[in-house]
């Protein structure tokens, strides 16, 4: 892994280096216009790319969770809540970022899926750093590399994601998803979601089998 910079031979100062890892254009918004569980599975191996603050950090997604709509009792947009100020982005168009705060201190990044006004989304739980690792280390001081983007709050901190990205489309800077290496079905596990009290048995968490970057059971 590298930090996404190289030094000028003339001055020795760092300059941005465009990495082939994150060079493909963003995934089309049509990618997200499908059921949340389908999108959650297919986001494994994709890249999450942040240029928040003008510096690039990217990770390969290894763990996601699907929240499938108003009948999903674990969702912020379950029918018992209705449409609220907090969950309103989930009713937006496919490809909208839904960023919320947990425990009063950790931001989490989701992407809205499916039809507009049908509240469903995919939570990005963990990623493997592939670019900008030195900056991710600065943002997560004292943490080993395999913990930099392990867990949704840690991932958002490493990528400098916060409320400012809420409601934006993930179709380009400062935050987007890009195609990555497809993960074969044989390397994907589906199981219960983490940290919820309702619909606990639904197999809507997807992760890469055996990955050290995954936040929960591997």
Residue ranges per structural domain of the chain:
28-208
The reported pLDDT for the residue numbered 11 is 33
Tell me the C-alpha distance between 214 and 147, whole Å. Answer: 9
The reported pLDDT for the residue numbered 197 is 83
Asked if the 28-208 domain carries CATH number 3.40.50.2300, the reply is no
Mean residue pLDDT of the chain comes to 89
Provide the token pair at 201: 């048995």
Evaluate whether 158 touches 61 at the Cβ level (below 8 Å): no
pTM listed for this prediction: 0.86
Provide the token pair at 200: 């606990």
In 3D, which of 165, 126, 148, 163 has the Cα closest to residue 45? 126
In 3D, which of 44, 28, 82 has the Cα closest to residue 182? 44
Tell me the C-alpha distance between 24 and 187, whole Å. Answer: 24
Q: How many CA atoms lie within 13 A of 126 on its CB side?
A: 23
User: Over the stretch 21-65, which tens digit does the pLDDT of each residue have?
Assistant: 335 689 999 999 999 999 999 999 999 999 999 999 999 999 999
In Å, how far from its chain's centre is CA 187? 19
pLDDT of residue 2 exceeding 50, the answer is no
- High-pLDDT (> 70) share of the chain, %: 88
Tell me the C-alpha distance between 43 and 196, whole Å. Answer: 21
Distance separating the N- and C-terminal Cα atoms of the chain: 22
């Amino acid at each position: 892994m590298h930090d996404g910079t190289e030094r000028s031979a003339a001055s020795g100062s760092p300059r941005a280096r465009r990495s082939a890892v994150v060079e493909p254009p963003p995934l089309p918004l049509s990618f997200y216009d499908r059921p949340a569980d389908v999108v959650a599975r297919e986001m494994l191996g994709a890249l999450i790319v942040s240029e928040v603050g003008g510096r690039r950090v990217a990770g390969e997604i290894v763990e996601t969770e699907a929240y499938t709509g108003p009948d999903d009792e674990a969702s912020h947009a379950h029918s018992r809540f209705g449409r609220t100020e907090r969950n309103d982005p989930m009713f937006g168009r496919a490809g909208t970022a839904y960023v919320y705060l947990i425990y009063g201190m950790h931001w989490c990044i989701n992407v809205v899926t499916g039809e507009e006004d049908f509240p469903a989304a995919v939570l990005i739980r963990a990623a493997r750093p592939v670019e900008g690792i030195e900056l991710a280390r600065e943002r997560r001081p004292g943490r080993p590399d395999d913990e930099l983007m392990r867990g949704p709050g840690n991932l958002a901190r490493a990528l400098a994601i916060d409320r400012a990205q809420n409601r934006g489309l993930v179709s380009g800077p400062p935050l987007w998803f890009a195609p990555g290496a497809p993960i074969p079905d044989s390397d994907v596990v589906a199981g219960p979601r983490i940290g919820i009290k309702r619909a606990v048995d639904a197999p809507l968490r997807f992760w890469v089998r055996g990955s050290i970057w995954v936040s929960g059971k591997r």
